Amino acid sequence: MLILKTVAALRRFRARARGKVVLVPTMGALHAGHADLIARARKLAGKSGTVIVSIFVNPTQFGPKEDLSRYPRPFAADAKLCKTLGTDAILHPYPEEIYPTGFSTYVNEEQVSSGLCGASRPGHFRGVCTVVLKLFTICQPDVAVFGLKDYQQCRVIARMVRDLNIPLKLVFAPTIRERDGLALSSRNVYLSTEERAQAPALRRGLLTAQAAFGTGERSAAKLRRMVEKEIRKASLSRVDYIEVVDGESLTATRTVKAGDTIALAVYFGRTRLIDNIQLAEPRRR
Ligand code: AMP
């Protein structure tokens, strides 16, 4: 496995790469959720293909008061995990490789990114789109793999890929969770013991709404209130947003249908957790 720190080195690697090239973009601090994406990438690439994992804590997607400087960066452990999972190359660029002095070109998706996390984190998706497009042009993957835990990010990237005719296939993978339902996240390490104990309330709230949808509830407002009620039982929680939206456009829905999504962001102390569920009809036996 190669560890490449410059765009030039990655380009040389890419020029020699054989078979299908599959990219997994990450910010590092890898956990079982990332591991699942990398294992999927390995499968998609096959024996003859090439898996690239990028590890880059992207400064442009953090707001001025967010956790950029304290974001965990355990690179040695990350590299070890990548190697175990059959990664061919890690792109771990110096920040100035990605953002040279005088950098002044950004990508702005203007619809799907406007609500939810886009509303509470102004500029976040501009940073995400910019770095992801750069990773695409640098690595030129045939396939890129993202996690549905960041549901809005998936939809925004899908829109960017369509709008800008980027020639690759996107694969979105389901969320990997702790046994108690908490979605794995690099930010979970910030939680105190008490906050960690309460954090599964997010998943419980979403499952309560899914159960009600399964038995016929179609009012978005009612489903939203059920989620909120469950989360408010966690005394340390502070709701940023809970919204019921169309699964594709992410616009608010009043009467829900299968495929609509409940997305939420909740603070525990200074730590902001996100989660979502795509509402599905219960399976008939
Ligand atoms: P991050 O390092 O947080 O930028 O995430 C890198 C990729 O891993 C993104 O596509 C995320 O959606 C995905 N990811 C993060 N957490 C999980 C999880 N619990 N399950 C599956 N994928 C995840």
How far is 239 from 47, CA to CA, in rounded Å? 45
Which stretches in the chain have pLDDT values below 70?
Answer: 285
Nearest CA to ligand 1 atom 11: 147
| Confidence (pLDDT) at 18 | 87
Region of 216 (left: φ > 0; alpha: ψ -120 to 50; beta: rest) is left
| Confidence (pLDDT) at 186 | 93
- 34 noted as active-site residue: yes
Ligand 1 centre and the CA of 82: distance in Å? 14
**Minimal CA–CA distance to 224: which of 237, 238, 236, 212?**
212
Q: Give me 69's structure tokens.
A: 């400087």
Q: Please report, for residues 5, 32, 87, 123, the alpha-carbon distance to residue 38 in angstroms, rounded to integers and kept in the order given.
A: 19, 10, 7, 28
| Confidence (pLDDT) at 219 | 98
pLDDT single digits (tens) 231-264: 999 999 999 999 999 999 999 999 999 999 999 9
| Confidence (pLDDT) at 99 | 98
Ligand 1 centre and the CA of 206: distance in Å? 19
Pocket perturbation via mutation, ligand 1, pick of 24, 31, 37 by most ligand atoms within 8 A of CB? 37
| Confidence (pLDDT) at 274 | 98
- The full DSSP string for 126-179 is HHHHHHHHHHHHHH--SEEEEEGGGHHHHHHHHHHHHHTT---EEEEEPPPB-T
| Confidence (pLDDT) at 282 | 83
| Confidence (pLDDT) at 285 | 62
